[in-house]
Amino acid sequence: MKRLLLAWISAITGVPFITHHAVRTRDSGEMAFAFRMKGGIAGDVNRTHPASIEPVLIDVDEPPTAYGQPVIVDTVTSGVRRFVAGDTAVDTAYGVMARPYPTQQSAGGMTSSFGGGTPPTTGAGDVLRAGYIMGKVPADSAAPKKGGAVFVWCAVSSGNHIQGNFETAANGGSTAALDPEKYQFNGGMDADGNVEISFNV
């Protein structure tokens, strides 16, 4: 009865109707994805369980410059700061700056980059103390391996090596080696250098 009614309406209006038998899913490779998703966004806590995130005060003199950067506690201010020149003797970080939500640039409009935004330079911020987080290494660096050692660039930024960011290999007095029992790469990186890091401090 329903089909007869639909056929009658179709004849009057001139609009064809399609039954569910005519609708099929085609999975024969006729559709292609032009782009691949990123491996992640630096600072994202990409495994929410287990994860231990602690609110901390930011050191105003040397604040972290990006989410996903490892931080250490300044002995004078008790705030967290990024690694700087001279921190090569520090063998472990306090944690990693966590992105509280998908922060975007506050300016730039349609030209703003996805996953942009920077941590606060004063007040409080979030630090992941244990769990899995996305970090960033130079895209042209040696590919990190699961369980591989983690380093931090402490020297002044040079080319793709950004002060305070993760590195996949030691580089003379320019890097600090993090405790391999606590910090490890959890696999390879994507084309932009995004990589997952696991740690428990």
In order of 54, 125, 134, 138, 194, the CA distances from 38 in angstroms are 27, 25, 11, 15, 8
- Where is 136: in which H helix or E strand? strand 124-136
Q: What is the pLDDT of residue 22?
A: 46
Radius of gyration of the chain (CA): 24
Q: What is the pLDDT of residue 47?
A: 85
Q: Is residue 5 part of a domain?
A: no
Q: Is residue 142 part of a domain?
A: yes
Tens of pLDDT, residue by residue, the chain (201 residues): 666 666 666 667 666 655 555 444 444 445 454 555 566 788 889 888 888 999 999 999 999 999 999 999 998 999 999 999 989 877 779 999 998 875 555 565 656 565 667 888 999 999 999 999 999 999 888 999 999 999 999 999 999 999 999 999 999 889 999 998 899 999 999 888 999 999 887
| Distance of alpha carbon 10 from alpha carbon 70, whole angstroms | 66
Q: Is residue 67 part of a domain?
A: yes
Q: Is residue 182 part of a domain?
A: yes
**The domain containing residue 153 runs over which residues?**
39-200
Q: Is residue 27 part of a domain?
A: no
Q: What is the pLDDT of residue 192?
A: 87
Tell me which residue has tokens 């004849």. 11
Q: What is the pLDDT of residue 23?
A: 45
| Distance of alpha carbon 47 from alpha carbon 159, whole angstroms | 31
Q: Is residue 26 part of a domain?
A: no
Q: What is the pLDDT of residue 25?
A: 47
The structural domain count of the chain equals: 1
3-state DSSP call for residue 81? strand
Q: Is residue 127 part of a domain?
A: yes
Q: What is the pLDDT of residue 6?
A: 64
Q: Is residue 10 part of a domain?
A: no
